[in-house]
Amino acid sequence: MTAATDSRTEVPDATELVARVRELQPLIRRNAAQGEQDRRVAEESMQALLSAGILKTAQPRRYGGYESSMRTMLDVSAAVGEADGGTAWVVALLNVCAWLAGLFPQQAQDDVWGQDADAQVCGVLAPTAETRKVEGGHQVTGRWYYTSGSWHASWAVLGIPVTDESGEVVDQGLALIPRSHLEYEETWFVAGMKSTGSNCLIAKDVFVPSHRIISVPAAIEGHYGTELTGEVLYRSAFVPILALVLVGPQLGMGRAALEIVRQKAAKKPISYTFYTAQADSVAFQLQLAEAAMLIDTAHLHAYRAADDIDEAATRGVYPDFVARARVRADTGWAVDHVVKAIDILLYAHGAASFAEASPLQRIWRDSSVAARHAVVLPVVGYEVYGKALLGREDHITPLV
């Protein structure tokens, strides 16, 4: 195959993808308030991101995707997060759900992208459903909260219990279901991350063929449905990717908050003091430095975890339990430090941070809500890692 016909030579690297996002940041930033009001990312922003290839970051190259890496997914969503946290969250979730679809057998992947290479996938891991085994697959009935990006997806990957002929649950699965087969209920009325459209998807006796169901316990141990085991990205560790991808938007929001506060410091006074500029205050300087270091620490842990995931996938080695547990801890650590940094920055900037016209209040709300996602909760990640370090058997979650 010559370079001219090899589509792999046309795949942009992380630097190029981030540069494309930076070109779109003014548009994304301008549409952020409208996204909050509509409780979904503005269609103009979504179309711009799709046209720029940002939503192809984790799609298999066989369908025109970029099949990049965990590190690239972080960098891309962080760059979007510099402009708007809600949009970044949707980008992160649609990309990682495309990665999930890449774990299914090729027949299922053809179902998703064979006729529409731009198809987007949303998803929820929790098996909040009932199933009935039938010839060729399962009938599925259930409700899945909260499905981020579901406004923009044409497929969903959803957790289900897998039952046998007698109705006994024998496994936990993930099912790929066309969005057109699902009903939709608006349930996402929240203080932050309003534009993610994380509403409820509903299945009523929907048939899912067997080739569109994979086992979650098997996936947790690195046993996937895809026959194409040479594709590096789809050898990546299951739970580590699903957890760490949620850090990307936080990194971008932290950077954005730091830059806003830093830029305004030269002209903004500190009320009820003699300081006519915050930048002249040693106390302010210390706060700014501490926040910057906390954000740097978050990046260092996130990047270490991403590099661990990518390196193992490249070598074709599945990370052991302790290594996977450390990614859970790295995830919580990164989120915890971004949230603390933003809190310090808002104290440093002052009450003006909470003006409706200030982007800082949206960053604060979006970061705070995203930080409470169950998979990134710091104390859970730390306990998972601590038990792993001690060789304990009293695990608190299978998601490691």
Give the whole-angstrom CA distance, residue 234 versus residue 224.
8
Mean pLDDT of the region 4-15: 65
Give residue-wise pLDDT tens across range 297-344. Answer: 999 999 999 999 999 999 999 999 999 999 999 999 999 999 999 999
Percent of the chain topping pLDDT 70: 98
Half-sphere CA count of 121, side-chain side, radius 13 A: 32
Give the whole-angstrom CA distance, residue 285 versus residue 174.
49
Query: Looking at domain 121-215, does it have CATH number 3.30.200.20?
Result: no
Specify the pTM. 0.95
Query: Is residue 9 predicted with pLDDT exceeding 80?
Result: no
User: How confident is residue 39, by pLDDT bands cut at 50, 70 and 90?
Assistant: very high
In this prediction, residue 108 carries a pLDDT of 98
Computed on alpha carbons and rounded to an integer, the radius of gyration of the chain in Å comes to: 22
Give the whole-angstrom CA distance, residue 123 versus residue 344.
34
User: How confident is residue 235, by pLDDT bands cut at 50, 70 and 90?
Assistant: very high
Query: Is residue 220 predicted with pLDDT exceeding 90?
Result: yes
- Using the CB atoms, write b or e for 257-270: b if 16+ within 10 Å: bbebbbebbeebeb
Any idea which fold 236-390 has? Butyryl-CoA Dehydrogenase, subunit A; domain 3 (1.20.140)
In this prediction, residue 135 carries a pLDDT of 97
Mean pLDDT of the region 207-230: 97
* N- to C-terminal Cα separation, the chain: 40
In this prediction, residue 10 carries a pLDDT of 82
Give residue-wise pLDDT tens across range 184-212. Answer: 999 999 999 999 999 999 999 999 999 99
In this prediction, residue 3 carries a pLDDT of 31
Q: Which residues have CB under 8 Å from 210's CB, separation 6+?
A: 136, 137, 138
Mean pLDDT of the region 288-292: 98
Give residue-wise pLDDT tens across range 129-184. Answer: 999 999 999 999 999 999 999 999 999 999 999 999 999 999 999 999 999 999 99
Round the average pLDDT of the chain to a whole number and report it.
Answer: 96
Question: Which of 309, 300, 388, 282 shows the shortest CA–CA distance to 338?
Answer: 300
Question: Which of 331, 336, 344, 328 shows the shortest CA–CA distance to 368?
Answer: 336
Give residue-wise pLDDT tens across range 110-127. Answer: 999 999 999 999 999 999
In this prediction, residue 7 carries a pLDDT of 40
Mean pLDDT of the region 225-234: 97
Query: Looking at domain 7-113, does it have CATH number 3.40.630.30?
Result: no
Domain ranges of the chain: 7-113, 121-215, 236-390
